[in-house]
Structure 1
Amino acid sequence: MPHTTVEFSSDLGSVFDTAGFAEDLHPTIASIADASVEGCKTRFLHPGFVDTDYLHIADGSPRHAMIHVEIALLSGRTTDVKRELGQAVLALVRTHTAPAPAFRIQMSVEIRELDRETYATHVEPVRDASPQDAPVRDDA
């Protein structure tokens, strides 16, 4: 936990640095939302990944593009913490998006809660783990 899904226009594949974003995102979430980097998971989606996906933005002009980040956290964070995290993640999106004058890029972040009382998780350990491997904290 936390789970992050990032949807973005396929035209931004060379503009949006997904690897750099994820590397900066996980410690940001851990720091602001009192989570662990080891428990962070991020999935990137864009219409080019799946043939059946279709993306229509605004009037449908190919000059429109988008990046939307959804972060799901276990319930219990204050509104101030969620607001701070949303603003920090939006800043990371902007930092990891190269200038693209051909596009009007809409960027957004949504922080949502998972019910702590009903959320279930299990982390399967690596079978050949050495004794110094620490267990993953997945309770954030």
Structure 2
Amino acid sequence: MPQILVTRTGRDDVDWEGFASELNQLVVEKAAARLEACKTQVVRGEDVAVGDEVDGHGLVHVTIGLLAGRTDETKAELTEAVVELLRKFIGPMDGYRMTHVSAEVRDLDPSYRKAEF
């Protein structure tokens, strides 16, 4: 825990490893997680459609799964901070009309289990 998934299209100009590292630190600061427990994957998708447009848009969505117990206020502060961090890393890019960014924090299901090998 936390389980963090960053899904993105395009935007190979972004330092995704640097973003993931800063994101992990942000989760530690805002959600009282342990840094060594933060596991972040950045997954690149190929196809995107925004409305009926299939060209000129980038998408980035961050999902953070935490064990239950954080307040709604803590989750909201974390998502706001994630969007600000995305703004720091992602700026305008030639060939993109717009990059859409979003974030959410959710409680992991009570069935969540983990193991290390």
From 44, 47, 57, give the equivalent of 2:45.
47
- Partners of 1:2 and 1:39 within 8 A in 2: yes
Which protein has the bigger strand share?
Answer: 2
Q: Name the aligned partner's letter for residue 90 of structure 1.
A: V
Aligned-residue Cα RMSD (Å) equals 1.5
**AA at the equivalent of 1:118:** S
Cα deviation 1:8-38 (Å, max 9, x = unaligned)? 112x112x22011111111110111111110
CA distance, structure 1, for counterparts of residue 54 and residue 32 of structure 2: 41
Partner of 1:105: 99
- Code of the residue aligned with 2:72 in structure 1: it is T
1:37 corresponds to 2:35 = yes
Aligned length: 116
What letter corresponds to residue 72 of structure 1 in structure 2? Answer: G
TM-score, length-normalised on structure 2?
0.89
Contact 1:57-1:65 at 8 Å conserved across structures: no
Query: 2:12 is matched with which residue?
Result: 13
Distance in 2 (CA, whole Å) between partners of 1:110 and 1:26 is 15
What corresponds to 2:53 in structure 1?
60
Distance 1:120 1:92 in 2: 29
**Out of 69, 75, 83, which is 2:68 matched to?**
75
**Secondary structure of 1:31 counterpart:** helix
Q: What residue identity is the alignment partner of 1:113?
A: D
Unaligned stretches of 5+ residues in structure 2: none
Q: CA deviation at 1:101?
A: 4.9
Name stretches of at least 5 consecutive residues in structure 1 with no aligned partner: 49-53, 125-140
Map of 1:2 onto structure 2: 2
Q: Which of 1 and 2 has greater Rg? A: 1
Deviations 1:73-131 (A, max 9, x none): 1111100000000001111111011322532111100111113x43212233xxxxxxx
For 2:50, the aligned partner's letter is I
Rounded Cα–Cα distance in structure 1 between residues aligned with 2:51 and 2:61: 15
